[in-house]
Structure formats: C-alpha cells, structure tokens
Structure 1
Amino acid sequence: MTKLLREEIPLNPHVAGLPPYSAGLNIAAAQKHSGLREIAALASNENPDGCSPKVAAALAGLNPARYCDPACTTLRAALGDKLGVPAERIVVGNGSDGMIAAVCRAILRPYATVATLCPDFGLHEIEALENGARAEKVAMRADLDFDIPAIVAMLARKPAIFFLSSPSNPVGPALDRDGLQRILSAVTPQTLLVLDGAYFEFTDDDTPGGLDALAQTDLSWVVLRTFSKAYGLAGLRVGYAVTSDLRLARAMTAAKIPFNVNAAAPAAALAALEDEAWMRASVAALKQERQRVSRIVAALGFRVAGSQTNFLFIDVGWDSRAALDHFLSKGIIIKPWKEAGYETFIRVTIGSASENDRFLEALRVLAKE
C-alpha cells in the first residue's frame, strides 16, 4: 500500500519567523549544567524575599474548582483606589507580558511601525512582529542613558506604538521629569505611548511614574505595571494596564482570551496590595544591596549602568555566553545579553546578600582571567 505524503500546513509567516524570547535559565537546568545543587538564580529579577505572608493566607482559602472573575473586578477596584484612576480604565492580565500582547492585538495592523529602544524588553519587538508590524529601535546613548533627541526624532515619524520602558529593562535608568516631558511633547495623536513601568517600585522617590504627567495630556497612552517584581508574585503571572480612556481599555480587554488570569493571581495580588508595608521594606533593602553591589562592580573595573531597578547591566568584557558558562560553573544564573552591540553585557538580579556576595566573588575571578 502506497503511503500518502503529508502535505505541510502553511504557518502564519508573522509567527514562524519570530525571534525567540530569551528567558532566564531555570534552576533545574542550571543544576544539571553545573552539577551543583545550590544555585543563585539571578537572571529573572525575582524578589529574593519571596512575597508577603498575607499572600499565602489568601491562597489557602482558594477553591480551584471555580473559575475566577474574568474581569478581575475586585482587583481593578483596589488598583483604581490606589492610583486614583477609574477602575473601568484598568485592564488586568497574565503578567504585563499579556498586556503587551493585548495592546498590540488591539492597535496594530499589518505593516504598521512600532518603535522601541535598544536594548529593551524583547516582547516589545516580538509582539509587534507577531501582529505583522515593523519594529524600529532607538539605541541608548553611549553612557547607557536615554537618548532623548533620537527618541524625539523617531516620534516625528509617527509610529503606531512607542514602547518605552522606564526604568529601562535591561539597562536600568529611569526617565527624569525633563526627559519625560520632552518625550510627551513629541508624541503625536497618531502614536500610542506605552510606558512600561514593570520596575517602577524600585525607583528613587523623585522619579516620575508617568501617570500624573500623562493625565495632563490629550494623548492616547497605556501604563504597564506588574506584581511579578517588587511584590514577589512572578510565578502567578499578574500584571495590569492603566489606559488613557475607556475605548482603549475595552479594546485591550477584547484582545485577551476571557480567562487569561487564573483564580490564584488576583487573590494573591489583592493580598499583596493590602500589605504595602512588606513590599516597601523589601524594596528598600534591595535598593541598598543594589547600591552596594554596584559600587563593588565598578571598583573591580567593570562598566555598570546606573540603575533604578532590582538588577544591574554590566559590561564584563567577555562574550556574554562565555560569561554565562563561567557563572554557571559557580552555581550562579545570570542573563547574557545577545542584542547587537551589547554582546559583552550581562544583566544580574539583585538577590539576597549572600547570593550577591557569591556573584561578586565569581566576578572577581572573571576580572583576573
């Protein structure tokens, strides 16, 4: 009997050609690679303090047999009260990653242009390409800060969306008030400004978060926030978007699958919001560690970007993949950066004091080789 040849199903070309997202190596993989049991996971910017004890108490009463409220009504109301924004203009999703996907699906048409920075969070580009858009990147300055004139020049070309992470991921600096105002003045009505504030809680007290300044404009905008970092809920995947108007919020909601937030996520997020004191104490300690580690890295002769996040972006002078192997041999996971022009940089999470000391000792060895 002649075997029929299977004809290959055509793939969506926008998806088939996507660059892979570079996720941080997980602990099990690092253990297998290194042969070590004790691993310092410093690649994914998780909170080494975990999360508020109130989160565990909230999850203990959860009934997994019941669907969650797909609108996350209670969580949106709590966020609205906290931020002074109508709950109807807030969208909750599966991490801020899910919100990036939703805004692209809601806004983009094939061959539109999306602008972002370089280096920047990979999903700003990947989600744009997935929706058939073109990506244009604006490089950070040589001193690893925002190039405001270059951003203003790019905005004159009226991209459909401008993704701007402040604080920058992976570099670390945050926009000051003057820089933010210059950008807002350059945004045209044809551009949706998406301000990705995933690390906002780690910024200095006088750093603008964007919401107040954006509320004074007539622009279309989205501000992204997450519970993954400062609140320690990375494993539960819950983030949110604050939108400039109800029309945008409705479009982003329609662009999500209905139950894209599991029942545990909003319950945990509500409990975390009720214990802001825990979050603030954790962030304060991590900021002190960030300053300590940054000083030592610089003293060892490595170039390190200024940071208002819970990580550091460091030029180690080696190919970043070789640097990854070096740190893995010491039981430490870091994030090697692979974008063109930044192949000698690594991003390292600020972990516990002991984890940071392990990283610094491994970095001292690297400095001698």
Structure 2
Amino acid sequence: LVFLCEPNNPTGQCTKHSLLTAILERCRECSALLVLDECFLEFLPDRKERTLLPYLGQYPNLVILRAFTKLYAMAGVRLGYCVCSDAKRKEQLMESGQPWGVSLLAQEAGVAALSEQAYADRVRKLVEQQRPILVKGLRQAGFTVWEGKANYLLFRSHDATLGKRMEEAGFPMRDCSNYHNLQPGDYRIAVRTEEENRGFLEALFLCQGKKQL
C-alpha cells in the first residue's frame, strides 16, 4: 500500500505528472495499491491536468481521496470520499466502514457546495494572488520558504519558540516538527485574505524585533 499526497503536505509542492504515472504503473507491477490524496488539488488552476482521475478505469489499483472540507472551508462537517474502479474493493471499503459514515447534514452541505462554482473560483484566484506576497514577506523576514502551489506554505525559522509567540499575538501556526525529516522551527501557514496576511506578516516581524520592509 503506497500513500501519496498531491500536492504534498506540508510543502505544497507538486509531483511531475510523468513521475506520478510511473509510480502508478510500478505499483500495478508490484500488485500494490496506490492511494492518492488529492484533497488540496482543487486549489490549483491546473487541477484538471494534474489529477489521476482519468486513470481510474485503466488502473484498478488506484484509489483517489477527495474532500469538500478544504476548498469549501467546512472542516467540521468531515465530508470526504474516495474514488476507485475496482467494484470488489469498493464493497470491501463499504463493509469495513461505519454504517452511517456521512451524516445527512454533511451530504446536504456537499450538494450545496457543488453549486458554489463562483466561490471556488474566487478562492483559487485569492490564493494565487496572495501566496507570492506571503512568500516575499517570509523571505524578507529571513526565513527559508518552500514555495508550494497549495493554499499553505512551509517555512523554516530556526526558532522553536516563534510558534508560541505568534499564537499569543493571535496568529497560530502549524508546528511541523513532528513531520518526518522536519525539525523544531518548521511551520506551515495558510494563505488567507490580503488583510489577514498583512496582519500576520506585521506580527511576524514584531515577534522578531524587526521592521517590515
């Protein structure tokens, strides 16, 4: 069983499509199941070119994970799903899960979200516009930034106490020190509105005793 995130979490970086398909083919040769988490892929403008959904019919060893909770900002609803072409595997998944895995309210929220195309387009545009501004601000503050394509950014501060001070300032950050190969001082932040991002950068500079450029 092979798990991959596309885009990666927490770096937000994407895998070359040719490499993904090569991994998929290799998994079939090894009789391995490839589970591809595409929950954050909906934020990308070129999501239709990057998804492996068109490969489902050809590769019964492929399972794709999706969710409404990211793009539509309703994490508390816990509405996610998987897609595969293997009918037997689908039955096994249904049998191993809870009888009522998704509530009626979550289903109704998902149906309503599907009609919010204008909202989804605005979110994608906002992320595309604001992410470079955050990257620039973080680098001006002296941090190493992994410039991903998702609605979040990973950066390294070499200061394991920065997260606590930023939280006290009203800007909590995801401590990524528990990720494999990452370390204390590595943080992930969300790309938010222009006002929120500006406030975040101002607080970040203040926490370091620096003046924003």
Above 0.5 in TM-score?
yes
Q: Please state if 1:278 is matched with 2:123.
A: no
8 Å Cα contact 1:324/1:336 also seen in 2: yes
Counterpart code for 1:190: S
Residue 10 (structure 2) pairs with residue 170 (structure 1): yes
Contact 2:62 2:84 (8 Å CA) reproduced: yes
Which has the bigger relative contact order, CA under 8 A and spacing at least 6?
1
Aligned length: 206
Give the Cα separation in 2 of the matches to 1:310 and 1:215. Answer: 26
Q: Which amino acid aligns with 1:329?
A: E
Whole-angstrom CA distance in 1 between matches of 2:158 and 2:163? 12
Aligned to 1:210: 52
Q: 1:337 — aligned with what?
A: 176
Q: Distance in 1 between matches of 2:100 and 2:25?
A: 38
| Equivalent residues in 2 for 1:51-200, closer than 5 Å | 161-187=1-27, 188-200=29-41
How many angstroms does 1:285 deviate by? 1.2
| Cα gap change, 1:303 to 1:253, in 2 (>3 Å) | same
Cα distance in 1 between the residues matched to 2:44 and 2:182: 24
2:82 aligned with 1:241: yes
Identity %: 27
1:354 paired residue number: 195
Give the direction of change, closer, same or farther, for the CA distance of 1:216–1:277 in structure 2 (3 Å limit).
Answer: same
- Other-structure match for 1:326: 165
Structure 1 residue ranges (4+ consecutive) displaced by more than 4 angstroms after TM superposition: 366-369
| Residue type at the aligned position of 2:24 | L
Q: Which amino acid aligns with 1:227?
A: F
Q: Which residue of 2 aligns with 1:288?
A: 129
From 71, 78, 81, the counterpart of 1:230: 71
CA deviation digits over 1:308-352, x for unaligned, max 9?
211111111112xx2221101211111111225312210111122
Q: CA deviation at 1:365?
A: 3.0
Shift of 1:235: 1.7
Matched-pair contact (CA < 8 Å) for 1:313–1:348? yes
How far residue 275 of structure 1 moved from its aligned partner, in angstroms, is 2.0
Q: CA RMSD in A?
A: 1.9
Structure-2 residue corresponding to 1:297: 138
Structure 2 counterpart SS, 1:268: helix
What is the letter of the counterpart of residue 181 of structure 1? Answer: T
3-state SS of paired residue (1:304): strand
Q: Which amino acid aligns with 1:268?
A: A
Please give the secondary structure, in 2, of the residue aligned with 1:269. helix
- d(CA) in 2 for partners of 1:193 and 1:349? 28
SS at match of 2:50: coil
Which amino acid is 1:354 matched to?
A: E
Taking the aligned partners of 1:305 and 1:208, their CA distance within structure 2 comes to 20
Structure 2: unaligned runs, 5 residues or longer: none
Asked if structure 2 preserves the Cα contact closer than 8 Å seen for 1:223 and 1:242, the reply is yes
1:323 counterpart letter in structure 2 = L
The CA deviation at 1:216 is 6.1
Q: Which moved more, 1:214-223 or 1:192-201?
A: 214-223
Amino acid at match of 2:53: L
Q: Give, in angstroms, the shift of residue 204 of structure 1.
A: 3.7
Q: Which amino acid aligns with 2:109?
A: A
Structure whose alpha-carbon radius of gyration is higher: 1
- Structure 2 CA distance for partners of 1:171 and 1:361, relative to 1, 3 Å: same
Deviations 1:180-203 (A, max 9, x none): 123223223421100001101112
**Alignment gaps of 5+ in structure 1:** 1-160
CA–CA distance in 1 between the matches of 2:167 and 2:73? 24
Aligned position for 1:251? 92
